[in-house]
Amino acid sequence: MIGFPLFPDVASTIATGVDRLYFFLTGITLFFTALIFFLILYFAVKYRRRPGRVAEQVGSDHQGFGLEIAWTVVPFFITLVMFTWGSSLYIANSRVPDQALDIYVVGRQWMWKVQHTNGRREINELHVPIGQPVKLTLASQDVIHSFFIPAFRVKQDVVPGRYVSMWFQPTRAGEYHLFCAEYCGTYHSGMIGRVVVMRPEDFQKWLGGVTEESPVRAGEKLFNDFNCVNCHSTGARQRCPQLGGLFGTDVMLEGGGTAKFDEAYIRESIVDPNAKIVKGYPPVMPTYRGQVSEEQLLNLIAYIRSLTPQKER
Ligand code: CUA
């Protein structure tokens, strides 16, 4: 290339759509900038002060009424086009496809830690297969970071204390930049990495041969170590809801209302158990804030998610 590309590589399904919108916005901006500057110059010359000419106010008695209507209504419709176009792209891009591949990402000063569902971990690198939707669930261990892959036209702020997700579908094999796009401290500029898009069979090969523990196994261990199992198991000592089969459902809450039993809800229930109590249970769970790291939380969630009513323990 010429060394200074105007736009990044186009490597995801939404990239072209985003680019088109940006070309449109840039085009509109350039057109009106040029028009306004041309008119300024033109009128400055045409109506310049000359001997024998008196300055007069234009549009005093409704002369310019039609003109005023025009320059209000025309921009109104142009901005409406921008609004509908932009929000339809946004909405399309915030719906995660059902069969998306799950990957967990934890940001911290100053690195991105990635974990795949089979346990494979990587740092400042993200391997993904081509042609398949990928859903990232992101958390931050300290401050706000922002996960940014220009070639995919996706960027998501990662806020401490909550989960956020983003998705994309790579369309071209290759290596692309990965940035942190939110100033997060001294080495923010070093919080970079690469995204490697591989053919599905290469990706499977890359994923395979893992010796690391899968998140579900690691989560099961934590579930026992933290004694979650004591209260959440069946039997005489059960004081808390059984967790099997709950993921993705709506749970009834104490005091009315429901909550979606998802990643965010599980996380909140672990660090702030009294925030949303399931109907019919006493508020007896202690908080685990400060005792579990973001990575451990993700493992616990993977485990709880894997539980079925039959597999209940
Ligand atoms: Cu993390 Cu900037």
Residue whose Cα lies nearest atom 1 of ligand 1: it is 145
User: 72 C-alpha vs ligand 1 centroid, how far in Å?
Assistant: 42
Kindly state if the Cβ of 116 falls inside 6 Å of ligand 1: no
The answer to whether residues 253 and 276 touch, using CB atoms and an 8 Å cutoff, is yes
Judged by DSSP in three states, 198 sits in: strand
Mean pLDDT of the chain: 86
Kindly state if the Cβ of 138 falls inside 6 Å of ligand 1: no
Kindly state if the Cβ of 184 falls inside 6 Å of ligand 1: yes
Mean pLDDT across 190-212: 85
At what angle are helices 294-306 and 263-271 packed, to 10 degrees?
Answer: 120
Kindly state if the Cβ of 183 falls inside 6 Å of ligand 1: yes
SS3 labels along 35-71: HHHHHHHHHHHHCCCCCCCCCCCCCCCCCCHHHHHHH
Residue 185 alpha carbon, nearest atom of ligand 1: 2
The answer to whether residues 180 and 140 touch, using CB atoms and an 8 Å cutoff, is no
The better pLDDT of the pair 193, 288 is held by: 193
- Count helices and strands in the chain by DSSP H and E runs: 7, 12
User: 61 C-alpha vs ligand 1 centroid, how far in Å?
Assistant: 58
For residue 126, the model assigns a pLDDT of: 93
Mean pLDDT across 61-80: 85
**pLDDT tens digits along 16-54:** 999 999 999 999 999 999 999 999 999 888 888 888 877
Strands 258-260 and 174-180: unpaired
Residue 144 alpha carbon, nearest atom of ligand 1: 1
For residue 33, the model assigns a pLDDT of: 97
The answer to whether residues 114 and 83 touch, using CB atoms and an 8 Å cutoff, is no
Residue 313 has pLDDT above 60, yes or no: no
Give the C-alpha separation, 263 to 248, whole Å: 9
Kindly state if the Cβ of 108 falls inside 6 Å of ligand 1: no
Kindly state if the Cβ of 187 falls inside 6 Å of ligand 1: no
Kindly state if the Cβ of 191 falls inside 6 Å of ligand 1: yes
Residue 180 alpha carbon, nearest atom of ligand 1: 2
Mean pLDDT across 174-191: 92
Mean pLDDT across 187-216: 85
The answer to whether residues 240 and 284 touch, using CB atoms and an 8 Å cutoff, is yes
User: 112 C-alpha vs ligand 1 centroid, how far in Å?
Assistant: 9
Task: For 255-312, give the DSSP string.
Answer: TS-EEE-SHHHHHHHHHSTTSSPBTT--S-PPP-TTTS-HHHHHHHHHHHHH--TTT-
**pLDDT tens digits along 126-167:** 999 998 999 999 999 889 999 999 999 999 999 988 888 899
